[in-house]
Every structure is written in C-alpha cells, then in structure tokens.
Structure 1
Amino acid sequence: MKIAVLYGGTSGEREVSLSTGKGIIQALKNKGHDVVDIDFTPEKLDEILSLKVDLVFLGLHGKHGEDGKVQGLLDMLEIPYVGSGVLASALAMDKAKSKQIFANNGILTAKSKTYHRTHHNDHEEIASDIRSSFTLPFVIKPNQEGSTLGLTIVKEDKQIVPAIQMALNSDSVILVEDYVGGREVTVPVVGSQGDERALPVIEIIPKNDYYDFDSKYQPGGSEHIVPAEIGKALTEKLSAEAVQAHRLLGCDVYSRVDFIINDKQETIILEVNTLPGMTPTSLFPDSAQVIGWSYDDLIEQFVMLSFENKRK
C-alpha cells in the first residue's frame, strides 16, 4: 500500500514523535509499503490536502496530533488512518472527561478537580481552593498534555503556586488529583472494535521518583518488566479494565492504558493513550515481543486492522 506517515508535529512531545515516526517509516518499508513521510505542522496543511494515499499512519503525540484535530481533517478528506477517531482521541486527551467516564463505569480513579484559567485569573485563589480540597501530597498537571509535561507532584505548600503556573503554561485547564503511590503498570490493547485483546501487562520501574519525561525517554531512565510479576488475578483484572477503558472511550485499533497498583492492591486508572510512543524500544512493542510479534509485525498488524476497518 501507499502509506503516509505523519510525525513530528508542534507539541512538547515533538522529539518523541520524530523517533516514533522514524521507527514506523522503517517498519513499513521493511514490509514492502510505499511510504510518504511528512513532518507535520498546521502551517503546511497543503501537504495533507493534496495527499493521494491508501492510508495515513499517525506517529504524532500530544496536541494537534493525538487530540482529534488531525483525525477530523482526515475524516473530512475521506482518507483512512490508523488508530482512534475524533471523539475517542479528544476524550482520551481530556483527562478530566475520561476520568468521569471511567468512574461512572466502575473503574477506580484518583479524586480530582479542574480549574479553568478563564474562571480563576488569580493563581493564589486557585491555590487556596486546592488547599481546602486536597491534602499533601497531590498532583498538579495540565488537563490536556502528554509525557508528564507540566506535571508536579506537590509535597510542600510552597510548591503549589509554581506548579499551577507551570501547568497553565501548557494548558488553559489544570487538573489536580490525589497522589496515588504504588506500582506503575501499563496495558497495551489491540484489535478492531468489539474484538480487542490486552497484551502482556508491563511494570515500569522508573529511576526517578515517578515515571517522568526523563524516565520515559532517556536511556536507562526506567526498567520495563514484561510480563509484570503481579499474579494471575491482578493481571486478569488489569487486562479486563484496560479493554473496558479502551471501549468506553470508543478507541480503535490500538491504545495503551496506564494504571497504578496501590498498597491495597487496588488498580487505579491514570489515562488512556490513543497514540502511545511507538519507537522500537517503547512500551507497546516491548509487550508485543513477549507474544512473538516483532516491531515490524506490530506495525503491520495496525495497518491490516485499519485496512479491514476501511472495507467494512
């Protein structure tokens, strides 16, 4: 097939997206596809408007890539693409909205509250409300951002206002939630809608206090244990909840669902990633390798699933 790969983008995750795109492009070429690579930017929409391809593979992360905007453009142009559609992408990117959906359907989430810049111009006013609503430690982060950009684990009162300012640099809405300590795990999900399966659960052991940007992307920043050594019951529960979360948002083809296992052995969902990192050393390919799928095979699997969707 003739496949365009959109990667790069303009979000804070651009460098990660460049690596994802590079891996996807090589895998597609290895599988014999004719690849058109596009370092995407909204300023060069002509490249998208004039595309003549069988399929678009999205290697973008963060805003203007993972949030449904590019998906909407491709829908209007009637160009099929790999992954979730507009609504699922937008819902997954909006952490507060997706948490409401999960909580309403019996999946545990951390207590949280949002603050809009337009409603609260005074950072001290926001800080005062946070103090009355949460007890230390808690998390302050942008409502729509990836790779833990703009996130602060607030352990002291003096961190609150700087954390608010940093989160608002990335988004007009900030999300504050209880800090949940425990084991960090993630579950890849793959399949056409209604026929999804969870791949082996991965435990992430970051070298830093939590799975921050450096832990994710710096060499040696974290250790991945696949499959996670958590016992059969927890594995089955996480797998079921990951598929449930994927379906609740209406995701398609693939996603990766992040959880914390707390000291009570409860599984608390963090978020769903509709376009998770897809470099050859990323979490999703690590899990796929355990069941015998090479990186190239995984990318081809996504292409085949998307092509089947196109024919339905």
Structure 2
Amino acid sequence: MAKKKVAVIFGGKSSEHDVSNVSAAHVIRSIPKDEFEVICIGITKKGHWVRFIGSVDDIASGAWERDSDNVPCIMSPDPLHKGFILLEADGTYATLKADVVFPVLHGKNGEDGTIQGLFAMSEVPFVGCDMISSANCMDKELTHIVLGSSGVKMAKYISMRYSDISKVDEFIAKAESELTYPMFVKPCCAGSSVGVSRCTNAAELKEGIKKAFLSDRKLLIEQGVNGIECECAVMGNDDPFASAVGEIKSANVGFYDFDSKYNDASSETIIPAAISETASQRIRETAVRAYKLMGCSGLSRVDFFLCDGDEPVLNEINTLPGHTPISMYPKLMEHEGIPFEEQERRLIELALENSD
C-alpha cells in the first residue's frame, strides 16, 4: 500500500517562529516513515511559503530559510489540487498533493483559525482543531464567554478595545473597583504569554495596557489567581481523553512567561503533579468538558490554576501546543504510555477520521 503523504507546515511570522521550527523537527523525526512520506513546507518570518528538502537539523536551527534549494510554493484553496502549487524557477509550476496536513505553527495565523480555514477550503484533512474552534480558543474573551456561561470556573476579568484607549483611566478605575491586584493584562489573541504583564498598581496597569495593545486591538484585564499552575493534555475527536496532570514550577515568581517556557532552564515540570487524586480528577474532567464545549478536535492542552479546596480555575486552551522535546503536551502523553511516534500516528489518524 502506498504511503500517505503528510505535509508538515512550520515557521510562520509570529513571535513563536523559532519554537515552531524546533517542534516541527521533533515531529518530522517522529512520524513513522514506514507508513508516511513527509513533505516539509516552511513559512519564512516574512510570510513566504517554500518547499524545503534539506535536513531536519536545518529546520530545528532555522537554517532552512536560507537554503538555496527552497522552492516557492502556495497551498491551493482549490480542492482540485488537494495540496500545493510549486512555483519553479523557469516560470512553470507543478502540483504537490498531500493526504493530510500537520500544522506545527503557533500564534497569529497559525492557531487562530486563519490557516485552518485554508485547509478546509482545499479539502485536505489536517491535524488539530477546525477553523471555528481554533479562533474561539485563541480569543481569550470568547473563551471566557463560552466556558463561563457553561459554569467552567475562570478568573474574573474585564475587556477593553483599542478604540477605547482615550478612556484608559476609566478602564483602570473599573478594573480597580471590580478586581484586586495583582492583575494580568493580556492581548486577547496572542500565545505563549506574549504581551502579558503582571500589574500591582495603576501605573503598571497603564503600561501593561500599552504593551498589550502592541500585540492586539483587544485585551483582557484579569484578576490574578493564586494557585498551582497545572496543565492537562487532551487527545481525540468525539470521544477525547485527558492525560495525567502536569505541574509547572517556574523560577519566575511573577508568572510563567515566554522566557520561562522556552529559555529558562530553572523552570521545572512535574509529571504527575504533586496534587491530590481528587484535584487531578477534577482537572481532567474539566479539561475534557472544556475541550468539548469549545468544539476542539485532534489535540489541545488545557491550562489551569489549582486553588484552595482543590478547585481548578481554567486559564486557557492551547489548540496547537508545542511539540519540542521538553514540551508538556508530548511529555504528558508519554506518561500515559503513548510514545512520541505513536502520538504522531494517532494525530494523523484523527485528522483522517475527521474528514470522513
């Protein structure tokens, strides 16, 4: 039987470009080569798409962007092509079909539903959540609205749009009347804690608002939550399952920011988390419930704070979690007895199942 062609897409214009490269290299190495043929599609920091045929090591290092053998390409939205159009140097073009797409992208245009809409138009099956669930999970305010209205516990918050920037002092007063410090200012649609500020007074709040608006035109001001930072991996379509709970111990006493996640060797992950069985079960049940409520499929990582009384407070849902060798999602699944290679096989199978 012919091998199915899996197009792994990586890179992108977001601030998480380098993380995507490392994740993609790990994914490509782990996809079972006896079952699948891998096609490598890179998106440069400027947003140009290329087919890359060099070494996986060059993907991890980022050197792939400078490879002279790169062939410019686009993904065709026409279902007739079922994949990519290669733009050859002599002005001709060729088509490159894919049986499934495995996006290893983070942040804007990667996990916000944008590229998922393109996949849907092309009618090529793809790993992960669909366009609508990706967009809703990326938007922190919409996540609050959907889950909060369904009884899932989340932090108290207020939202603000850039069009209201002239009223910033009013919003700060509103935040101080409804919430207590510390507060966290977050761009509504950014990943990996990009643009997030921990604020302990009005001056810091104003600076945090300015910073967040550099990343998005809508933000949240959230009540700080005092609890153990926990994460849970979920996999599946209609009948998803949740992994054991992992705990994060960050040397950054403020919060688990971008540097803590990717650059700080002193940050520690504990699997399984040092919490009670009751707390673990509550987190796992809430993770699956939130996954279903948000319409997720394939995979997601659901992040929580575990507060006094073993009460889980949901922080966010990450629909395309990192797949680096130290990322929490694959480590949690490995703890469940699912090695990385088997994880990739299952995710590809779930994508194909979703297209039936």
- Is residue 296 of structure 1 aligned with residue 299 of structure 2? no
Q: One-letter code of the match for 1:47?
A: I
Once residues 264 and 352 of structure 2 are traced to their aligned partners in structure 1, the CA distance between those partners, rounded to angstroms, is 35
Q: Work out which of the residue numbers 44, 47, 63 in structure 1 matches 2:74.
A: 47
Q: TM-score scaled to structure 1, two decimals? A: 0.94
**1:80 matches 2:145:** no
How many aligned positions are there?
310
Q: Helix, strand or coil for the counterpart of 1:272?
A: strand
CA shift, 1:119, in A, is 3.0
Is the 8 Å Cα contact of residues 280 and 295 (structure 1) preserved in structure 2?
no
Question: Does 1:282 find its partner at 2:331?
Answer: no
Q: Which residue in the other structure is 1:120 paired with?
A: 165
> What CA deviation, in whole Å up to 9, does each residue of 1:80-110 have, x standing for no partner?
1001001100000001111111111111011
Question: Identity of aligned pairs, percent?
Answer: 35
Distance 1:34 1:219, change over 3 A: farther
Question: Quick one: which of 35, 40, 43 aligns to 1:37?
Answer: 40
| C-alpha distance after superposition, 1:91-147 (max 9, x if no partner) | 000011111111111110111111000233454444344333332211111011110
Q: Secondary structure at the match of 1:250?
A: coil
Equivalent-residue separation in structure 2 for 1:215 and 1:48 (angstroms): 35
The residue aligned with 1:144 is 189
Tell me: CA distance 1:267–1:84, structure 2 relative to 1, closer, same or farther (3 Å).
same
Runs of 5+ in structure 2 lacking a partner? 50-71, 77-84, 86-95
Q: Could you give the per-residue CA deviations for residues 235-269 of structure 1, whole angstroms, max 9, x where no partner exists?
A: 11111100000000100011110000113421100
Could you say which structure has the greater relative contact order, defined with CA pairs below 8 angstroms and 6 or more residues apart?
Answer: 1
Say if 1:215 and 1:222, in contact at 8 Å, map to a contact too: yes
Partner of 2:248: 204
Q: 3-state DSSP class of the match of 1:73? A: helix
Identify the residue that residue 231 of structure 2 maps to in structure 1. Answer: 186
- Normalized against structure 2, the TM-score is what? 0.83
* Alignment counterpart, residue 317 of structure 2, candidates 269, 272, 275: 272
Structure-2 separation of matches of 1:105 and 1:270: 15
1:15 corresponds in structure 2 to: 18
* 1:136-188 Cα distance to aligned partner (Å, 9 max, x none): 21111101111011111101332111111110000000110100011000110
Q: Counterpart of 2:75 in structure 1: which amino acid?
A: I
Q: Which residue of 2 aligns with 1:171?
A: 216
Q: Which runs of 5+ in 1 are unaligned?
A: none
Deviation at 1:309? 2.1
Instruction: Letter of the 1:256 partner, please give it.
Output: R
Residue in structure 2 matching 1:255, options 300, 304, 322? 300
The whole-number CA distance in structure 2 between the counterparts of 1:37 and 1:125 is 50
Q: Greater CA deviation, 125-134 or 48-57?
A: 125-134
2-side partners of 1:12 and 1:160: how far apart? 23
Matches of 2:30 and 2:207, distance apart in 1: 42
